Amino acid sequence: MRWPGQTAQSLALLEGTPVNCLLLERERWQPELLDAAAKRGLATLAVVRPGFDGAVPGAFAGVVLEGDFAPAEVAKYRDSGRPVIELVSRYRLRFDGVSSVAGTWQGVWPGIQLEEEGSTKSAPSGAPWINTNTGFLRFAKAASKGVVWIGVRPPEKNTFRVERYLQAIGDAAMSGARWVVALDADFEKRLLGGDDRARKDWERMARHLRFYEEHREWRGLDPYGLLALVEDTPGALLSGGILDMIAVKHTPVRPMPTRRLQGGALRGAQMAVNVNPETLSAEQQEALRTFARSGGTLLTGPPGWKFPAVPDGQITLADEAVKTLDTIWKELNSMTGRRNLGVRLFNVASMLSNLTATADGKTLYLHLVNYSDYPVDSVTAHVLGRWTKAKLYTPEGPPKDLEIYPVDEGTGIDIPALTAVGVIRID
Amino acid sequence: MTRRELLALGAAVPILKAAPAPAAPVSIVRCRTYTNDELLASMKTLFDQLGGLPRLVRNKTVTVKLNLTGSPALKFQGRALGVTHYSHPNMVAAFAHLAHEAGARRVRFVESAWGTAGPLEEYMLDSGWNVRRLSAVAPNIEYENTNALGKGKRYSRLKTAGGGYIYPVIDFNHSYEDTDCFVSMAKLKNHATCGITLAMKNCFGNTPASIYGDDAGVDAPNESPTSGRVNTCHLGKRQPAKSSPGELDPTSSREPGYRMPRITVDVVSARPIDLSIIDGIETVTGGEGPWIKGLKHVTPHVLLAGTNMVCTDAVGTAVMGYDPRAARGVKPFIDCDNMLTLAEARGLGTADLARIEVAGLPIAEARYAFP
């Protein structure tokens, strides 16, 4: 968490929470704070930005390099012997396993996009658009096969209801990643000043953080579904790309980084979308041909099309790229139609979901995050195949058994109500 | 007698006046919640005041046009769709139960679901309805999305009254013809274009988007429609699929306030409503759905029903605090022609409150002032 407090006493706010690692900006590098944190068993990480040429106090457990550092600079910090975590811009992410954490400071602030006047951005026809990092995070998770952090901060000069923080926690967690908790300035001030409302909101956030920490095994599960999306950098690093477009439809999809596309990588998939055909190696192309020969349906991007270069600092799609992707999107839509590719969800317009499975495929986990400020009643899931048990996990209470029933596609599950997040275990 | 002779007779003998538009009683009850017990009791009283539901539905196929307007993804202030601009699922279930008790052979719920020709049951699930529970309320409950051909083999072509205002005939999904009793289950709410959305305006949605939608085929119906009817109906920028006769006069006004009331009257004259039910327990003012700015959630706590659609809507309009015979330019018909008087002129029913018997709660007590 990006800790806002400067005093040792402020750390009392962390009692009973699962927060165990604090990122401290330079103005908080006070010895007494570091000492108090150590006594509480909290790991402290010094946040260093490009251009800093001072020394990081020895009391820190590690260093976070936030921003884009020259390789020599990074090496210098690594050579110091302390753990180093890099929070780079998305386009500097390497997924090469050198870092224990694939981390970025860049992200969209999760939530339903509002129009200028503050109303929900929508047309008579459609669902509200949800700003999310999940498409990028799911790709990053699949590409890195390791720990993924996203250090997006709430936009400056804004205050947010606690629901937006719960959404930020869920947005990362349902993708198997972790959000580096950060509060808006007003929330920080009120929390540190002892404001009751702020403390209650913080407790609610802590409950959500604990919920995901108590089920940290969920982070290691693989995406599940009959549809695979073959793509790679730079397009997959954007938010609002094809993976997010699919996610809005709640179609289960397995991100398949091109770099991991080898024989057998698409096992279990029935459909695959190859977004960037021009960039594939001969071996990768052969893997796709094998998939198609074995009966898989393959949809490829427009001939000769390459994902346009993305201007530095941009993490959402440019209008031109949206238009091009729209071609693929329409074809994909007609290919998937109303088919059940793992699960079909109903009454989830304000939600995003992610379907994952254990390695043996005997247990599914359906993650749901509600991005509206209101609870959602009566969500229905039609899960492909016959399943015998379903249990709902939420931060608000003990797990609840859900009634299941047969439907044409397999198994129906009714979820009576969902406040912010929920995970359904399906056996 | 030929048509020419008839017209000549009409011109020559002005003393032969048209029969007055029919009148029928309208029932009003107070109902404060959508809880099953209160709904069942209130709706039973509502229908009893009209002479009972059995006389209307016994041994009949009853088709109920719901109001599920706009995408179910669009909720107003996070509220359940049924307490704002959609039919409420508990009310739908209560009607199915009462119709079964009254001897209905089957009850078929229909709606032209927004932007899809997929199963209506899935659209209902997307609306947060428990379709399994609804289906268990009574035997022989059916569902049909009437946005396209659906389960039928052909479209039903029905003639509009008096030759029609805009269309001489309307092509419908078969459900609107294959029924013995047609029910419009509407909400008591405004409409941005037509001033009021009651039982008649609800039936604008009877038109299949496959033919009358903006992405309807040019020549033949598009059986996978994905859009609304704004360009074809509201604005008249295009004609329906050529499989259906187009407009009587493509040079007529393209103004939505002229077209939409007339198209609505054409639709309900082609497929008249046998029983109009208007839900004003909880609803919205200021428009028909959340895409209209200035919407407000309100609780008039009333239910209305009647066997004449014009009379029922006229009383509904009065309950909203408006004059049902108001001229264009007067609320609620600020920018549109009055569909009630247009319907009255076609002989579909009277909008004259003095001729309509109100059973149960008087209008003055039921009145809830809409803006």
Chain A CB contacts of B73 below 8 Å = 122, 126-128, 349-350
Interface of B with A in 76-115 (CB under 8 A): 77-80, 114-115
The C-alpha of B293 sits at a distance from chain A's nearest C-alpha, in angstroms, of 9
Contacts of A127 in chain B (CB under 8 A): 71, 73-74
Q: Could you give the CA distance from residue A404 to residue A418 in angstroms, rounded to a whole number? A: 17
SS3 A369: strand
Check CB contact of B70 with chain A, cutoff 8 Å: yes
| C-alpha dihedral, A200 to A206 to A208 to A210, nearest 10° | -150
CA distance A136 to B330: 54
Chain A residues in contact with B294 (beta carbon < 8 A)? none
Q: Which of B77, B126, B227 sits opposite A347 (nearest CB)?
A: B126
In B253-312, the residues whose Cβ lies within 8 Å of chain A are 289-291, 293
The reply to whether residue B291 touches residue A126, judged by beta carbons under 8 angstroms, is no
* Residues of A whose CB is below 8 A from B128: 347, 376-379
CB-based contacts of A44, cutoff 8 Å, min separation 6: A21, A22, A24, A34, A37, A38, A59, A60, A61, A62
Interface predicted TM-score of the whole assembly (ipTM), two decimals? 0.88
- Measured between beta carbons, which residues in chain B are less than 8 angstroms from residue A381? none
Which of B65, B92, B315 lies closest to B183 in space, CA to CA? B65
CA-to-CA distance for B324 and B329, rounded, in angstroms?
Answer: 13
Q: Which helix (H) or strand (E) holds B166?
A: none
List the single best residue of A343, A347, A418 to mutate versus B (max B Cβ within 10 A). Answer: A347
Angle formed at CA B343 by CA B337 and CA B345, multiple of 5 degrees: 95
Instruction: Judge contact between A373 and B100, C-beta under 8 A.
Output: no
Q: Which residues of chain A have pLDDT under 70?
A: 114-127, 305, 308-310
pLDDT at residue B4, rounded to an integer: 40
SS3 A328: helix
- CA gap A308, A318 in Å, rounded: 9
pLDDT of residue B203: 98
* Complete edge-to-edge strand list for the sheet that includes strand A364-370: A222-223, A351-357, A364-370, A421-426, A390-394, A397-401
Distance (Å) from the alpha carbon of A350 to chain B's nearest alpha carbon: 7
Give the up-direction half-sphere exposure of residue B259: CA atoms within 13 A in the CB hemisphere.
Answer: 20
Residue contact A373–B122, C-beta within 8 A: no
Contact B72/A372, CB-based, under 8 Å? no
Which of B73, B130, B228 is nearest residue A349 as measured by Cβ atoms? B73
Closest CB to A127: pick one of B73, B80, B122: B73
pLDDT at residue A316, as a whole number: 87
Give which of B59, B129, B168 is closest to A378, Cα–Cα. Answer: B129
CB A48 within 8 A of CB A77: yes
Confidence (pLDDT) at A269: 95
How, if at all, do strands B302-306 and A43-48 pair?
unpaired
Under an 8 A CB cutoff, do A372 and B125 touch? no
Closest chain B residue by Cα to residue A339: B118
Beta bridge partners of residue A102, listed in sequence order = A148
The verdict on a CB contact (< 8 Å) between A346 and B118 is: no
Q: Does A128 touch chain B (CB under 8 A)?
A: yes
Which tokens hold the place of B68?
């599920």
Question: What parts of chain B have a pLDDT lower than 70?
Answer: 1-18
Residue contact A405–B132, C-beta within 8 A: yes
Q: Do A378 and B73 touch (CB under 8 A)?
A: no
Helices within B87-237 (DSSP H only): 89-101, 120-126, 131-135, 199-202, 209-212
Q: Tell me the two tokens of residue A79.
A: 């050579």
- The set of long-range contacts for B300-303, using a CB threshold of 8 Å and a minimum separation of 24, is B300/B188, B300/B366, B300/B368, B301/B30, B301/B31, B301/B32, B301/B368, B302/B28, B302/B29, B302/B30, B302/B31, B302/B188, B302/B361, B302/B366, B302/B368, B303/B28, B303/B29, B303/B31, B303/B42, B303/B43, B303/B46, B303/B277, B303/B278, B303/B279
pLDDT for residue A276: 82
> Do the chains contact at A127 and B289, CB–CB below 8 Å?
no
Query: What's the CA gap between A305 and A303, in Å, rounded?
Result: 5
- For B71, which of A126, A372, A377 is closest by C-beta distance? A126
Tell me the residues of chain A between 366 and 405 that have a Cβ less than 8 Å away from chain B: 372-380, 405
Which residues in chain A are closer than 8 Å to B80, comparing Cβ atoms? 377
CB contacts, 8 Å: A111 with chain B: none
Contact status, residue A72 vs residue A297, Cβ threshold 8 Å: no
Residues of A with CB below 8 A from B286's CB? none
In sign, the C-alpha dihedral spanning B24, B27, B28, B31 is negative
* Chain A CB contacts of B129 below 8 Å: 378
CB pairs below 8 Å between A and B: how many? 64
Element (H, E) at B343: helix B339-345
| Residue-level pLDDT at B322 | 98
Instruction: Specify the residue for token string 């040429």.
Output: A53
pLDDT digits (tens, 9 = 90+) for A180-237: 999 999 999 999 999 999 999 999 999 999 999 999 999 999 999 999 999 888 888 8
Select from B114, B118, B228 the Cβ nearest to the Cβ of A338: B118
**B70 contacts in chain A (CB < 8 Å):** 124-125
- Rg from Cα positions in chain A: 22
Measured in whole angstroms, the distance separating CA B2 from the mean position of its chain's CA atoms is 35
Residues 6+ apart with CB under 8 A from A155: A109
Any A CB within 8 A of B250 CB: no
Contact A97, A144 (CB under 8 A): yes
Pinpoint the alpha helices (H) of A121-264.
134-144, 162-173, 185-192, 196-213, 242-248
Residue of A nearest to B69 (CA): A124
Q: pLDDT value at position A264? A: 84
Q: Quick one: tokens of B188? A: 């008591």
Q: How far apart are CA A285 and CA A261, in angstroms?
A: 9
A5-36: b (≥16 Cβ within 10 Å) or e? bbebebbebbeebbbebbbbeeebbeeebbeb
Residue of A nearest to B133 (CA): A414
DSSP B138-165: SSSEEEEETTSSTT-SSPEEEEPGGG-S
CA distance A55 to chain B (A): 51
